[in-house]
Each structure stands twice: as structure tokens, then as C-alpha cells.
């Protein structure tokens, strides 16, 4: 990528893992790498902000210092997320206890980070933002601690810009609000991880392209709007009017504007692996369409005439219905009546609303292009 190396990070593409541990002290990063990682390799020495990548239990993991304070971790986390394809940044370090129940050497997981910083002003929000951790990561950390029998406290922390402050009562005020501890970086990291470009994957399925493309490229916006309003919605409507039409498909797909396409492809490939497909088939109980998975199934399941009938028996099969024929017939009648119900021209109303949405979308695109052209002069 043309943005790497950066003025702050000498790493080349591919030298940093998708998961990065980030203590404040670069020497602590060095200690962690040399103590816990296999074959650690240093990828950054710029400004002595040491960074290493190695193997931990068979998986690549990086560890890098962030420096002290929100401006510093803001720089490094931004570059890791935007330029190096990092997906997970886990801040590790020390904090000062505030709550009475917090004792020396207690382990704390910050689910949220209050702050006295003005760091969020850059997002120009109409109110106060509450920085929170990724629940998926937090849950895994808490679960891992539980499995190992390590006590862990989960709650709010305070990310402060001040190490030496004039207000001697400030920590008492945060204590009354239930804050567990004070440190200096988490809020900025949580805001960076919660920025719209990382958080927003889809608003509504048929609007996927538009909302993923917003503020990025006009082409992506136009493509999403075209497929949504001129293909998906009309096609869905027309098929809903046809007797016996069905639109159910069970599959896995990757949005064209996905920022983590490689990770999604890795997951799909993972699900198609023989041993994973076998475990999935046995756990869920679905039959598998993959021959290599079928070949490694338990003999009792593989030879089951119910799950995998012979071609001779399959030719004689009939559709099983849990409901009686009378009930199914009544449902078919009611469904047909509902699809054909039209009081006062609902079809015309639908077309009018569709035209209005298309017109509004086109107006927004035109306004965006006009504003961009105006800013060029």
C-alpha cells in the first residue's frame, strides 16, 4: 500500500498481524515479544516505538508500543487500522485504581472509557459520545480469564489527559460514578475502533451499496442505488405477485464494499474445510453437499437412508409436511388472497414511493457531485 511505511511506523505490508497487543511502553512490548512469542521479529524502530510480530500458539500476533496519552495511541491505531489492515487492537497496560473494591494487581477489562479529553471533537458529533470496547473482544477476554480462574473486574475506566492535575477532587467525582480505574489511552482507541468506516457494514440489505459507499465514491453510491431500487426491490415485488414463487436462499456472500474481504473469504474457506464441515454437519444435523465431508462422516450417519438416501429411494421420495393437507390448502388460499389484495391501488402507491426514493437518491448524488466540483475551484 502506498501509505506504508509511515512517518511513525517503518513496517512494510504483511509484517504486522491482524491482531496487535498495544502497551504504552515500547520496552514492555519488547519484553512481551521476547517472553511470549515464538520467533519475534522487530518491524518498527522509528522514534524507538518498538513493534514485533511473532507466533503465539500457532497464530501470528503483533505487539507494539503506543506511547503515553490519547494523541499518541490515536496516531498509531489510525495507521494500523487504515494502512496495515489490522482488525483487532488490544490495549494492555497499567491503570490507577479508583473504586474501593479495586485492589493492587487486580485485572480490569474496560467496557467503556469516560474521558476529560476533547479527542471526540474531531468527529463533530451533535452530543457527547460514549466510547465502548468491542463486545466480541471483551467477551473473549473475560471468558478466557474465567476459564483460567483469574478474577477480572468489568466496568468503566477513565481516560485522562492529565497525569498531574490541579483538581484534587476529580477522581472522587469519577469514583461516585462507578468508574473503576484511570489510565490515559483507552478512550481514543475505542473511538478509533468505533469510527463509522469500521463500524458500518450495512443499514438495510437492499441499501447496502449506498450506505457503504456514502462519503467515499459516487460510483459505489450509484451502483448500490441502482441495484437496490431498480433491481432488488422491483424484482422482489414482482416475484411476490407470482403464485408459487419463492425467494429463500441459504448461502454465504461477501458485500462488494466489505473492508474485510480477505477475512470473509478465510471464514468461508474455513467452513468448507473437511474437518470443519464434518463438525458442522454433526452439530447442526444438516446434510452436507460436499463429497469429501461425506466421506469422513461417522459410518452410522453416512449410511443413514434418512439423511443420505440411495438414488433409488430418492427417486421415490415425497415432500414431507408437518401440517395436514387441509391446513396447507387453507394457508395457500390465505397467502394467495393476501398477495392479490389491493385496496385503492396499492401497486400505484408502491410505484410512486419507489419513484420518489429514486428521485431523492439521484438528487443527493447530484448535490454531492456539485459540492465536490465547487470545492475544486
How far, in Å, CA of 84 to CA of 77, rounded? 10
Query: CATH number for the domain including 39?
Result: 3.40.50.1580
Q: Is residue 311 part of a domain?
A: no
Enclosing domain of residue 95: 19-199
Residue 94 lies in a domain: yes
Distance CA 152, CA 106 (A): 7
| Phi/psi of residue 91, nearest 5 degrees | -75, 125
Query: Sign of the CA dihedral 79, 154, 27, 163?
Result: positive
β-strands 96-97, 181-183 pairing: antiparallel
Length of the chain: 377
Examine residue 55 and state whether it is found in any structural domain, yes or no.
yes
- 44 contacts 9 by C-beta, under 8 angstroms: yes
Domain count, the chain: 1
Residue scoring higher pLDDT (371 or 223): 371
At 237-282, the pLDDT tens digits run: 665 555 545 444 456 777 766 778 888 888 888 888 888 888 888 7
pLDDT tens digits, 59-100? 999 999 999 999 999 999 999 988 998 989 999 989 999 999
In this structure, what C-alpha cell is assigned to residue 293? Answer: 465431508
In a domain, 52, yes or no: yes
- Note whether 179 and 99 are within 8 A (CB): yes
- In the chain, the N- to C-terminal Cα span, in Å, equals 30
pLDDT tens-digit series, residues 17-58: 999 999 999 999 999 999 999 999 999 999 999 999 999 999
Full-model pTM? 0.54
Answer yes or no: is 78 within a domain. Answer: yes
Domain for residue 366, yes or no?
no
**Closest-CA residue to 238 (of 333, 347, 332):** 347
Amino acid at each position: 500500500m502506498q501509505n506504508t511505511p509511515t512517518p511513525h511506523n517503518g513496517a512494510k505490508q504483511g509484517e504486522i498481524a491482524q491482531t496487535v497487543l498495544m502497551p504504552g511502553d515500547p520496552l514492555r512490548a519488547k519484553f512481551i515479544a521476547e517472553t511470549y512469542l515464538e520467533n519475534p521479529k522487530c518491524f518498527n524502530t522509528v522514534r524507538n516505538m518498538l513493534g514485533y510480530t511473532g507466533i503465539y500458539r500457532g497464530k501470528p500476533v503483533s505487539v507494539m508500543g503506543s506511547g503515553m496519552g490519547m494523541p499518541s495511541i490515536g496516531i498509531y491505531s489510525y495507521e494500523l487500522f487504515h494502512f496495515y489492515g489490522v482488525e483487532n487492537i488490544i490495549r494492555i497496560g497499567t491503570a490507577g485504581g479508583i473504586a474501593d473494591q479495586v485492589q493492587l494487581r487486580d485485572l480490569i477489562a474496560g467496557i467503556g472509557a469516560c474521558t476529560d479529553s476533547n479527542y471526540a471533537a474531531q468527529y463533530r458529533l451533535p452530543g457527547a459520545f460514549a466510547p465502548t470496547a468491542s463486545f466480541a473482544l471483551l467477551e473473549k477476554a473475560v471468558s478466557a480469564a474465567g476459564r483460567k480462574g483469574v478474577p477480572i473486574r468489568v466496568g468503566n475506566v477513565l481516560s485522562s489527559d492529565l497525569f498531574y492535575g490541579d483538581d484534587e477532587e476529580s477522581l472522587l467525582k469519577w469514583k461516585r460514578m462507578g468508574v473503576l480505574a484511570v489510565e490515559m489511552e483507552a478512550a481514543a482507541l475505542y473511538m478509533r475502533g468505533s469510527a463509522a468506516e469500521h463500524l458500518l457494514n450495512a443499514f438495510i440489505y437492499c441499501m447496502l451499496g449506498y450506505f457503504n459507499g456514502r462519503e467515499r465514491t459516487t460510483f459505489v453510491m450509484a451502483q448500490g442505488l441502482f441495484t437496490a431500487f431498480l433491481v432488488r426491490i422491483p424484482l422482489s415485488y414482482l416475484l411476490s405477485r407470482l403464485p408459487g414463487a419463492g425467494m429463500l436462499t441459504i448461502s454465504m456472500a461477501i458485500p462488494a464494499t466489505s473492508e474485510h474481504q480477505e477475512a470473509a473469504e478465510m471464514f468461508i474457506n474455513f467452513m468448507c474445510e473437511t474437518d470443519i464441515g464434518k463438525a458442522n454437519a454433526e452439530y447442526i444435523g444438516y446434510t452436507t453437499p460436499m463429497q469429501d465431508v461425506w466421506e469422513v462422516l461417522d459410518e452410522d450417519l453416512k449410511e443413514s437412508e434418512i439423511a443420505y438416501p440411495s438414488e433409488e429411494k430418492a427417486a421415490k421420495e415425497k415432500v414431507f409436511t408437518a401440517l395436514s393437507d387441509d391446513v396447507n390448502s387453507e394457508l395457500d388460499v390465505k397467502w394467495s388472497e393476501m398477495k392479490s389484495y389491493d385496496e385503492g391501488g396499492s401497486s400505484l402507491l408502491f410505484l410512486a414511493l419507489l419513484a420518489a426514493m429514486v428521485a431523492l437518491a439521484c438528487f443527493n448524488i447530484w448535490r454531492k457531485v456539485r459540492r465536490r466540483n465547487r470545492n475544486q475551484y
